[in-house]
Amino acid sequence: MKLEILGCSGGIGHGLKTTTFLVDDSLLVDAGTGVELLKMDQMLAIKDIVITHAHLDHIIGLPLMLATIYDQHKTPIDIYALPEVVEALKTHIFNWTIWPDYTCLPEDKPIINLHSVNVGDQLSLQGKTIEVIPAEHPSPTVGYLVSDGKASFAFSGDTGINNALWPILNTKKPDLLIIDVSFTDEVDELARLSGHLTPSHLASQLELLSHPARVMITHLKPGFEDTIMQQCRQILPSWQIDRLHHGDIINL
């Protein structure tokens, strides 16, 4: 299974793209500003998209991509998200005011199909099993655990302290855990209020993980990436903790 990181930043700026992961060329996990790195033929190859939540940094590339491929698409794209996220897309994005309603365009065969999922659901897409896993965030949010039967990775989504996650990971034993650590320890209260982790939060959470997965950090706030990683490594010297980078290609 090939995982290509098109975007993994907690903000924008030169060389920074927000959360967008491409799996085996035809599955997207979130659709942030990283979508703009896809060429036309790559966008046309997308068959399924799983979305963690409705915050703009995770969906902003979706409406723009649909407008780009509209005249050339052959098969509708299936999009999976929590019911609240599906409703947010319908109400606030595809509403003819912010963007055309691609759930009914073209009339004979709309370019997208929206599907509601809930925590615990398992999807069978493109030879993969995708389990919807819990997240803790001010906006309704989930993560995803993706397996092709040989290898697997878990993506936490945007999350703060999330004790419900770890029994699932201990059972499923993913090879890779991609987890949100957005803030340094110095802004603990901000992290808690906004539903993100700090290095110290991560350390307390990893005490609940019995499976020695590789851990990669995502959603770091611009300008604080080095400090966050230094703090993670200082607090967790026995763990393999790496930073996710734009352009990474991870073969599982």
CB neighbour class for 246 (10 Å; exposed up to 12, middle 13-18, buried from 19) = middle
Q: What is the pLDDT of residues 19-43, one digit of tens each?
A: 999 999 999 999 999 999 999 999 9
What percent of the chain clears pLDDT 70, i.e. is strictly above it?
Answer: 100
- Residue 211's pLDDT is 87
The angle, 0 to 180 degrees and rounded to 10, between the axes of the packed helices 199-206 and 225-235 is 40
Q: What is the pLDDT of residues 176-203, one digit of tens each?
A: 999 999 999 999 999 999 999 999 999 9
pTM for the model: 0.97
**Residues whose CB is less than 8 angstroms from the CB of residue 146 and which lie 6 or more positions away in sequence, other chains included:** 1, 23, 27, 29, 128, 129, 130, 152, 153, 154, 155
* Position 212 confidence tier, pLDDT thresholds 50, 70, 90: confident
| C-alpha–C-alpha distance, residues 134 and 144, integer Å | 8
Beta pairing class for 241-243 and 142-147? unpaired
- Residue 86's pLDDT is 98
Instruction: Give mean pLDDT, residues 200-208.
Output: 98
Instruction: Give mean pLDDT, residues 215-244.
Output: 97
* Position 228 confidence tier, pLDDT thresholds 50, 70, 90: very high
